[in-house]
Structure 1
Amino acid sequence: MKAVNKRNLAVVTLIVILVVFVMWRERDSEAVAVFKSQELPTESGPRAGLLAPALTLQGSDGSTYQVGGKREKAVLLNFWASWCDPCQQEAPELNVIAAKYKDSLDIYGINVTSHDYKPNAERFVKKFKLTFPVMYDQKGEAFAKYNGAVFPTNVLIDKNGVISEIILGILTPEELEAKITALIGS
């Protein structure tokens, strides 16, 4: 009887060791898979999944603002024109989002001045009391870097500098906020 107990104990011990080994290997391979899925792209361009093209613009407040590379907060680039009706509809909601997510999101309003008249754009900023930094893309170079085609164009960029999505045209406030919360949570 003692030999049977020793054999059973040896079998149980071996099974426990195998289970622990298999669980350890699965956990290790999951960690590798998670690490690989979080690797950053090396290519930049105006497309979701690529690094955001680098740009530096001076804001109307005199500060310099940069996009490109890792940063503390996600970014929403809002390309707009003063004559654009959807841009006018969207402006109050952008103020709300800027205030609500100020700790985790930067909004940069970029007037594409090459398609606008700067005094009209300045009136737009005052009329809608924009609370986020506003820049003037005098030559349309920033808009071109993001293959801008319509107004508004919103570019969502995560903290790693990767474009999450490029939104052409206006969304409902609920749709835009859902995209913002997904961006911040990623």
Structure 2
Amino acid sequence: MKRTIVLLFIVVVLTGAAIYQNNDKKEAAMAASSEMKPKPGFTAPALELPDLDDKPLAVGGKKDKLLLLNFWASWCGPCELEAPDLQALFKKYGDKVELYGVNGTTYDKERQAREFVKEFKLTFPILMDREGEATDLYKVTTFPTSFIIDSNGIVRERIPGVISMNEWEDLLEKWIKVEEEKKEKAAG
């Protein structure tokens, strides 16, 4: 009887220790995965998404210009506030910056997303993330979330939430200048 109790006690202690160690590993893995967000200095995930006409467009990777990538949803109040600014930025910087809006379609309704584009008269490319691949790869957990990606495909800024038009202009001017200096050095 004592032997059974001792064995049972040992099994309970070992099980408790195994659960404790496994939870530590799980917490460490979750902490590591949250740190793996595309962040400044790291390569932006590359993928293709369809636009509103179902033509695929490449996101990430090397490009000729700076890329402003904006994740949004039609039900998102802050996205409504930001939409006119993004359209104004596209008109002002369209020759120096590519601007793609990525609709978090897995969290939205496509019909409502199309109505949002019409309502705000958005003329920059709108990509549909129907499978949630881009949202997952870019670790987007809130809308809007934007990224400024340089011509080498490196994330330079991660912008959660809405910022003012002046802040947008300051950020874009800063990275446009960096891109121009890079081109001048390459030209020689």
Task: Give your verdict on TM over 0.5.
Answer: yes
Give the aligned length: 143
TM-score normalised to the size of structure 2? 0.73
| Aligned counterparts of 1:102 and 1:133: Cα–Cα separation in 2 | 11
Question: Which residue pairs with 1:115 in the alignment?
Answer: 107
Deviation, 1:61, is 3.1
| Aligned counterparts of 2:174 and 2:138: Cα–Cα separation in 1 | 21
* Aligned partner of 2:38 among 42, 46, 61: 46
Q: Secondary structure at the match of 1:125?
A: helix
- The structure with the largest helix share of the pair is 2
Q: Residues 44-101 of structure 1, C-alpha deviation per residue, up to 9 Å, x if partnerless?
A: 9611101111011111134321122221111011100001111001101111110111
Written as runs of structure 1 = structure 2, the 5 A alignment for 1:50-65 is 50-65=42-57
Q: Over aligned residues, Cα RMSD in angstroms? A: 1.3
Q: Confirm or deny that 1:170 pairs with 2:162.
A: yes
Q: Percent identity?
A: 45
Q: Residues 129-151 of structure 1, C-alpha deviation per residue, up to 9 Å, x if partnerless?
A: 10100011112110110110111
| Aligned counterparts of 2:64 and 2:90: Cα–Cα separation in 1 | 15
In the alignment, is the contact (CA less than 8 A) between 2:60 and 2:149 conserved in 1? no
Cα distance, 1:132–1:93 mapped onto 2, change above 3 Å: same
In the alignment, is the contact (CA less than 8 A) between 2:63 and 2:152 conserved in 1? yes
Bigger Rg, structure 1 or 2: 1
Q: Secondary structure at the match of 1:57?
A: strand
Amino acid in structure 2 at the alignment position of 1:53: P
| Aligned counterparts of 2:54 and 2:46: Cα–Cα separation in 1 | 19
TM-score normalised to the size of structure 1? 0.74
Cα distance, 1:91–1:108 mapped onto 2, change above 3 Å: same
Q: Confirm or deny that 1:132 pairs with 2:124.
A: yes
| Aligned counterparts of 1:86 and 1:55: Cα–Cα separation in 2 | 26
Question: Which residue pairs with 1:96 in the alignment?
Answer: 88
* Aligned partner of 2:63 among 68, 71, 80: 71
In the alignment, is the contact (CA less than 8 A) between 1:45 and 1:51 conserved in 2? no
Q: Secondary structure at the match of 1:154?
A: strand
Question: Which residue pairs with 2:15 in the alignment?
Answer: none
In the alignment, is the contact (CA less than 8 A) between 2:52 and 2:128 conserved in 1? yes
Deviation, 1:177, is 1.4
Deviation, 1:117, is 1.1
Question: Which residue pairs with 1:33 in the alignment?
Answer: none
Question: Which residue pairs with 1:161 in the alignment?
Answer: 153
- Farther-moved stretch of structure 1 (142-151 vs 60-69): 60-69
